[in-house]
Amino acid sequence: MTRAQGAFMSLTHWQQRFDDWLHQSWNQDDKAHDVAHFRRVWNTAQQIMAGSEANRLVVLTACYFHDIVNLPKNHPQRHLASTLAAQETLRILETHFPDFPRDAYDDVAHAVRAHSFSAGIAPTTLEAKIVQDADRLESLGAIGLARVFYVSGALGRALFDSEDPLAEDRELDDTAWALDHFQKKLLTLPATMQTEAGRALARHNADFLVHYMAKLCAELKGDFCQLDEEVLRRFIQVTP
């Protein structure tokens, strides 16, 4: 067996153990931040770090536990969630995975802390940058589209302002309308990406959201077959 094959088997082994533990010991009502989310973030992270020298075990572990403590977006301590998640991750590793290498604890904890948009913690390691990018990509593209309306619905927010869906004559307010979150946060994410691969994926998936906005606006005007070209011109050009 080659070293690369051994490393892959080791990652597969750890992933299966993390999966098993989460299914048996962790209950999460927020289906936008469940085990399936952790798996998707890990899958995306593998694409981002292909060919890099990143520590795969650190990235895997942070992907699987980054939202182990998750507070609602309207919670007053939301900005502390990733710090609490980092603390809980180390507790879980020490208690339930005593054979996990302790020399990786600090890097795992930093990657978990730094993944959060609301925490505003800058990632300082390659592994943390990869995890942050992979998690933010969950907010873009088709998955991001589904998640934003799922979360907004759970918080009792309206889909959009039918009188002014793109906030042309009012302030953006994503605490009231889900669609406002596209401009307020989602379309800004490509500019925050830490890796070249992450930026390319983010730009592509942000454009998908712009096309959705253009389709929605066309339908609101009674056109069910075309896209609103003005929306495309306005947002495709400014998407970072």
Global pTM reads 0.89
What is the rounded average pLDDT for all residues in the chain?
91
The full 3-state SS of 15-34, as one line of letters, equals HHHHHHHHHHHCCCCCHHHC
Instruction: Give 127 or 116, the one with higher predicted confidence.
Output: 127
pLDDT of residue 188 exceeding 60, the answer is yes
pLDDT of residue 89 exceeding 80, the answer is yes
Q: Which domains does the chain have, with CATH numbers?
A: 3-131 (1.10.3210.50), 141-236 (1.10.3210.50)
Instruction: Give 163 or 118, the one with higher predicted confidence.
Output: 163
**pLDDT confidence bin for 170, thresholds 50/70/90:** very high
pLDDT of residue 156 exceeding 60, the answer is yes
pLDDT in tens, 13-24: 999 999 999 999
- Residue 179 burial class via C-beta count within 10 angstroms: exposed 0-12, middle 13-18, buried 19 and up: buried
Strand partners, 158: 177
For the residues 206-229, what does the mean pLDDT come to?
97
Question: Residues with Cβ < 8 Å from 67, sequence gap 6 or more?
Answer: 28, 33, 37, 38, 81, 85
pLDDT in tens, 21-46: 999 988 777 666 789 999 999 999 99
pLDDT the model gives residue 27? 76
pLDDT of residue 5 exceeding 60, the answer is no
For the residues 70-85, what does the mean pLDDT come to?
78
